């Protein structure tokens, strides 16, 4: 029963995959389909022109082997074949050039479409993906469509037209020998159907998963090699990497070995030497037994041997076609991402009073992460969100700046549903500083002015001084005009202070903070804490607390567990309440004590490296 159920689910998944592929092709290739059809027609004519010269030359050979050759006819056939060969080159070049021009225009249009789409998707779409993934959509996936647009259809048309035209002529010459040639094609088709049969899609998916696993373990091994060698245990560091390599090797060998045998047999069937031997054996039999003329073999030797090459060309492009098709599906899924609605007009918030009213949220339909959240954030107060990992802290905080829209309920600022606010008005009212600092490719000044483009130099300097980053900026080669990633290379703590300066300059009355010091070194942490003290003054602040000792002085604590508010109140009251917050506070205290004990203990690991390795 389980096996049949698994097969049914796999079949349904393949059907959904085909549906997604059709939808992707319709959306992404629909605008260029008619022009590609015209280019394909030119390719079909070009393929016919590639066959005709061989037919004419075969006829020349048969004429010369006759009892009384017609020299005028012979020269005419040769000259016509040369003319058609030249026409074939012209048609092929025009079709290929046209398809590339279509592809160039299509890529430009598609990139503009994707750029507009990315300007409308929720901010949470970006936080769930790395910059590399976003770049892959805009660059890698669009470029992967090049084969689909500029080559795939033309190659398919050529690979079909040429063998069909050739077989039609060969059947006219001698249907019996033509069956021999057709049998080799049929045998190859059977072999390929076995290779591409049931389970092939799942194997491809497993292959990509193993590739990702090997890549991740390689990065992990290289990044950690200094640590494991410092502690004298180099073998331990590469176990995960070795297991990944061995697992990939075992999977790939088990999958590819039978396929390689089948593919080798299939390619052998289309090998020109094999086809020629089969044609000669069959032809000699016909000449001896049926009295056929020997010159009947000439067209088959000239044309029959080339059929396999055009068919094999389809197989050579299969990998590029699969990658392009997968890229098309990913781009289609991006275009299907719901837009974040941005009204043309709306109210403008004032004081910064925030309310979560019976808020529920799920990333996927039917899977709620937050349920029934009621919460009020008053101006001039700091509210901390705490809870176990996976309780929904970051998700709840990111609903306020509309990284996502709520599934149910509403969030209001000064009584206005944030979905009715224009984006620019919302982000003038709500600022945020996250652990994962986001800096644009530009100068330090351009990064600071993102939230307030009209700020003057004095305002910029006041913000950077308050954020404890002004002096570091002046040390850069071009000061505030230094370019991030070129001549401005900042540490994690420095980048965090720059983002705090940006938030200070924007001067939003509401702030969302995802504990900004979580990954900072002690020196940077002190500077960041001083900057945060300036930033949160007189504002409505919602802070995600990962380390509870940093929120001892906040006004209000909200404790989340499994997406629900289980406790809330002043931190001192909750510490004595004996609930979840009390237990988390005690665990945090024990962790801090252990860290202090380790820090105060003498360091012996490096001194004992030789002993450990021995």
Token pair recorded at residue 173: 């010459």
Give the span between the Cα atoms of 132 and 129, in whole angstroms. 8
Q: Which of 559, 592, 173, 216 is nearest to 386 (CA)?
A: 559
Burial grade of 132 (CB within 10 A; 0-12, 13-18, 19 or more): exposed
**What CA–CA distance (Å, rounded) separates 482 from 283?**
79
DSSP string, 254-269: HHHHHHHHHHHHHHHH
| Amino acid 90: pLDDT | 92
> What are the residues whose beta carbons fall under 8 Å from the beta carbon of 124, sequence distance 6 or more?
398, 403, 404
Mean pLDDT for back-to-back runs of 10 residues, the chain (614 residues): 61 73 78 87 89 84 79 87 90 90 88 84 74 70 81 83 86 85 84 72 70 69 52 55 80 80 78 82 78 76 75 67 76 82 79 90 84 91 88 88 90 91 86 77 88 87 86 91 84 82 86 66 61 74 81 87 91 86 84 66 46 30
Amino acid 523: pLDDT: 58
Question: Contact at 8 Å (CB) between 307 and 167?
Answer: yes
Whether the predicted model's global pTM rises above the 0.85 cut: no
Task: Determine the Cα–Cα distance for residues 138 and 233; give it in Å rounded to an integer.
Answer: 43
Tell me the domains of the chain and their CATH numbers: 20-174+309-340 (1.20.1560.10), 176-291 (no CATH), 354-599 (3.40.50.300)
Q: Are the beta carbons of 393 and 471 closer than 8 angstroms?
A: no
Give the pLDDT of residue 122. 80
What is the 3 state secondary structure string of 431-491? Answer: EEECCCCCCCCCEHHHHHCCCCCCCCHHHHHHHHHHCCCHHHHHCCCCHHHCEECCCECCC
Return the pLDDT at 611: 33
Q: Are 195 and 265 in contact (CB under 8 A)?
A: no
Copy the structure tokens of residue 29.
Answer: 């290739």
| Distant-in-sequence, close-in-space partners of 423: CB < 8 Å, separation ≥ 6 | 340, 342, 402
């Amino acid at each position: 029963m389980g096996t049949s159920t698994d097969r049914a689910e796999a079949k349904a998944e393949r059907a959904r995959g085909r549906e997604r592929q059709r939808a992707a092709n319709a959306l992404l290739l629909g605008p260029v389909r008619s022009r590609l059809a015209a280019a394909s027609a030119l390719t079909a004519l070009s393929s016919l022109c590639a066959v005709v010269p061989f037919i004419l030359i075969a006829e020349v050979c048969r004429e010369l082997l006759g009892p009384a050759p017609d020299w005028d006819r012979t020269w005419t056939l040769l000259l016509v074949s040369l003319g058609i060969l030249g026409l074939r080159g012209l048609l092929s070049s025009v079709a290929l050039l046209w398809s590339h021009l279509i592809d160039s225009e299509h890529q430009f249009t598609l990139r503009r479409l994707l750029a507009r789409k990315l300007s409308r998707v929720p901010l949470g779409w970006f936080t769930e993906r790395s910059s590399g993934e976003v770049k892959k959509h805009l660059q890698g996936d669009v470029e992967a469509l090049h084969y689909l647009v500029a080559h795939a259809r033309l190659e398919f048309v050529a690979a079909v037209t040429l063998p069909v035209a050739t077989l039609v002529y060969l059947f006219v010459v001698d249907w019996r020998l033509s069956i021999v040639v057709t049998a080799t094609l049929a045998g190859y088709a059977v072999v390929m159907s076995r290779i591409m049969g049931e389970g092939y899609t799942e194997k491809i998916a497993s292959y990509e998963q193993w590739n990702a696993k090997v890549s991740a373990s390689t990065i992990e091994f290289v990044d950690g090699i200094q640590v494991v060698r410092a502690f004298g245990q180099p073998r331990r560091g590469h176990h995960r990497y070795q297991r990944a390599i061995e697992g990939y090797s075992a999977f790939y060998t088990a999958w590819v070995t039978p396929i390689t045998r089948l593919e080798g047999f299939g390619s052998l069937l289309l090998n020109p030497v094999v086809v020629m031997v089969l044609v000669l054996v069959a032809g000699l039999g016909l000449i001896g037994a049926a009295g056929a003329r020997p010159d009947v073999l000439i067209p088959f030797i000239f044309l029959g041997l080339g059929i396999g090459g055009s068919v094999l060309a389809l197989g050579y492009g299969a990998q590029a076609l699969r990658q392009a098709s997968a890229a098309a599906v990913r781009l289609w899924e991006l275009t299907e991402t719901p837009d974040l609605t941005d009204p043309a007009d709306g109210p403008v918030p004032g004081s910064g009073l925030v309310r979560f009213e019976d808020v529920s949220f799920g990333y996927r339909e039917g899977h709620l992460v937050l349920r029934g959240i009621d919460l009020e954030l008053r101006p001039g107060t700091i509210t901390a969100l705490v809870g176990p990992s996976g309780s929904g802290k970051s998700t709840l905080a990111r609903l306020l700046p509309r990284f996502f829209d709520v599934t149910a309920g509403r969030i209001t600022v000064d009584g206005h549903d944030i979905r009715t606010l224009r984006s620019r008005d919302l982000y003038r009212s709500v600022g945020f500083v996250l652990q994962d600092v986001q800096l644009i490719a530009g100068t330090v000044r351009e990064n600071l002015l993102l939230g307030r483009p009209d700020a003057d130099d004095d305002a910029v300097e006041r913000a950077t001084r308050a954020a404890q980053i002004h002096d570091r900026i002046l040390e850069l080669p071009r000061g505030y005009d230094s370019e991030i990633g070129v001549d401005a290379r900042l540490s994690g703590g420095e980048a965090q202070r720059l983002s705090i300066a940006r938030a200070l300059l924007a001067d939003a009355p509401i702030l969302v903070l995802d504990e900004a010091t979580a990954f900072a070194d002690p020196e940077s942490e002190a500077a960041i804490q001083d900057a945060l003290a300036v930033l949160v003054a007189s504002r409505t602040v919602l802070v995600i607390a990962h380390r509870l000792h940093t929120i001892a002085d906040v006004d209000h604590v909200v404790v989340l567990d499994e997406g629900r508010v289980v406790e809330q109140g002043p931190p001192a009251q909750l510490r004595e309440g004996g609930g979840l917050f009390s237990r988390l506070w005690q665990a945090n205290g024990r962790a801090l004590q252990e860290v202090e004990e380790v820090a105060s203990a003498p360091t012996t690991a490096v001194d004992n490296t030789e002993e450990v390795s021995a």
